[in-house]
Structure 1
């Protein structure tokens, strides 16, 4: 009775590792003979560093970098076993969680700290860097990150522009003479699950900036800045940022990584599952348990549970998904390979209570125990 548990984090409540542990405890409470393997997962956003470090027997490190509004913050990153691959999350250096709601302002927010974090990883001797883009507070097309890496963006007077999305419109010249040669030898793999262009109605400003604090007037100004920057890059470097699928990800960080750092923009969950070797782990698995905070129609579009279910489906392994909230979209989940899905919440409850870590942990454990009891009966009956 081999069971593989690969829960994504329940955002604002439990990490992937904590959710996995609660689920494992529930199954073992149902039957101590279950053979269980847990795999921490993420989809390229929050939890990417943790999932990959644990999966690859790596190490955690911490660095002090410039936060989105210029204050020093502590950013955690990882180096995988072998010491050649670093893992970072944009949110650790320039993420929305680093700001209070009334502090959000993509006109001012910078990705400078992310560049500092990259430099820190390179100094550790890494030649490959995996980047999770989710959760940035910025809309600066990644120029802050590039400034930290030695690029200069100059205005009409030959002066360096400052930080934030408001500065994009002022850029007239790009100087890469100060970029370290070492940077060219680094392979960047970027977890990016959106295909938005850099500017326009489907671009970074119009689609993502409002959740980062931009009002309608700011959105228009930011979009003009992104277009101006793209034209400057096309004119001087012959790189068409607007043609890059995913250029608008994380306030334009997708454009900076792909256009300036020659990064591969990849499906987040595919990258994570490759690194955690989940496909190989399924060879000895009879049942898969996965899940996240909310299961809905969006889950089937690049989220961790869907990626896991697709791999299991290829091997005809049943998949049960758990979540705090289960909304419409069941048909899409079934198509993705989920056999059945359940809410862990046992009755009416307010969101604050449901998100309480102890409550969530208890709910997962209870749900897992019930699934374990049914699974044990099926196995006993030879089903």
Structure 2
């Protein structure tokens, strides 16, 4: 019996990781009915992180929080024993903006702070915060306020939400936020190395996708620098890798003592990936687009690295593939299937994503004897 471990990330804007697994499995069942399939949806700290934790056996916990522009938002986080898994994207990310309307000056990270507080009150002692897809550039000010920090303007009043409020920051007291987290360990899960400030910082790199034009990016960076001078006089946190994640939420978490870890590593550990890998003959991974960014520590690359280290062949599936055969081989991937070549255009590939993934699943099933035979033979595939 052939044992397959299917561990893809989401196809962003199209299918969740679980939906990708299900579609591939349906196709495989038609051409390789005896194959034993283990589902392992993954994520890299961004959208889909909570879903991956739930698929791995965590329990869903409901929460009512403040959305990125002040609206009431009902979401779910994950809890397993005393470990909580939270997702910024779902709480206060771009996808949480009402109507998808960007709010570069007013969007806030407050709801994520409320979520962290809810997890602490529920008894969580390790809190994994998946960063990615943020709607705000507030240096995590809203998050800090939700945890009790005092961020005040020149008149001694709480600053308003978002970048606009951050412009008025005159004094800070982080002690109440740190006290609220006493006994809890924060883990910032992401694969971003950007500092808070400068050409590689939160505003310059991620501001445009949130609606900041070139002039606004320059002003935002100055605002972040002024705020950092008050929040982090030594500059250690603002210069740290990952401080620029999620509009500076990474910076705020570092101020609260968070440890930064690779989002892909954290999710794979939560999913007990290595144990599942030990029982597999072939691994299938993938995401919406396999490109140069995939190789920068994203989920599929980490899946392939671990599988290749264990001597297992890895196939990849994606909506589009721009990596060369040499690049794929270097990542430990022996072959890749794309959906775009099976569709009329990008829109068609997205619209028929599940159907096309079923086709890919059937093709993988047909090729299993040759793939595994060659891999197990005297000349393994590269």
Normalising by the residue count of structure 1, what TM-score does the alignment of the two structures yield?
Answer: 0.93
Deviates more, 1:71-80 or 1:218-227: 71-80
8 Å contact from structure 1 (residues 296, 328) kept in 2: yes
Give the one of 242, 252, 256 matched to 2:252.
Answer: 256
| Residue matched to 1:301 | 296
8 Å contact from structure 2 (residues 62, 77) kept in 1: yes
Q: Which runs of 5+ in 2 are unaligned?
A: 378-382
8 Å contact from structure 2 (residues 148, 180) kept in 1: no
Is the partner of 1:179 in helix, strand or coil? helix
Q: Which deviations, in whole Å up to 9, do the C-alpha atoms of 1:162-203 show, x marking residues without a partner? A: 111122232221123543734121111111211111111111
Counterpart Cα distance in 2 of 1:232 and 1:251: 17
| Residue matched to 1:243 | 239
* Pairs within 5 Å for 1:77-96: 77-80=77-80, 82=81, 84-96=82-94
| Residue matched to 1:352 | 347
* Pairs within 5 Å for 1:46-195: 46-55=47-56, 57-80=57-80, 82=81, 84-99=82-97, 103-179=101-177, 181-195=179-193
8 Å contact from structure 1 (residues 146, 256) kept in 2: yes
8 Å contact from structure 2 (residues 196, 248) kept in 1: yes
| Residue matched to 1:4 | 5
Counterpart Cα distance in 2 of 1:191 and 1:180: 19
Evaluate the alpha carbon distance shift between residue 218 and residue 150 of structure 1 in structure 2; reply closer, same or farther with a 3 A threshold.
Answer: same
| Residue matched to 2:327 | 332
Evaluate the alpha carbon distance shift between residue 380 and residue 239 of structure 1 in structure 2; reply closer, same or farther with a 3 A threshold.
Answer: closer
Counterpart Cα distance in 1 of 2:111 and 2:287: 29
Counterpart Cα distance in 2 of 1:176 and 1:380: 60
Counterpart Cα distance in 2 of 1:100 and 1:216: 25
Q: Which runs of 5+ in 1 are unaligned?
A: none
* Pairs within 5 Å for 1:177-216: 177-179=175-177, 181-216=179-214
| Residue matched to 1:342 | 337
Q: Which deviations, in whole Å up to 9, do the C-alpha atoms of 1:76-127 show, x marking residues without a partner? A: 21112x2x11111111221101226773122111111111111111221111
8 Å contact from structure 1 (residues 13, 355) kept in 2: yes
Give the one of 278, 285, 309 matched to 1:290.
Answer: 285
Shift of 1:379: 5.3
Counterpart Cα distance in 1 of 2:101 and 2:217: 17
| Residue matched to 2:25 | 24
Counterpart Cα distance in 1 of 2:202 and 2:93: 15
Counterpart Cα distance in 1 of 2:356 and 2:239: 46
How well do the aligned residues superpose, as a CA RMSD in angstroms? 1.9
Evaluate the alpha carbon distance shift between residue 157 and residue 330 of structure 1 in structure 2; reply closer, same or farther with a 3 A threshold.
Answer: farther
8 Å contact from structure 1 (residues 300, 333) kept in 2: no
Shift of 1:152: 0.8
| Residue matched to 1:312 | 307
Say whether residues 1:370 and 2:363 are aligned partners: yes
8 Å contact from structure 1 (residues 192, 265) kept in 2: yes
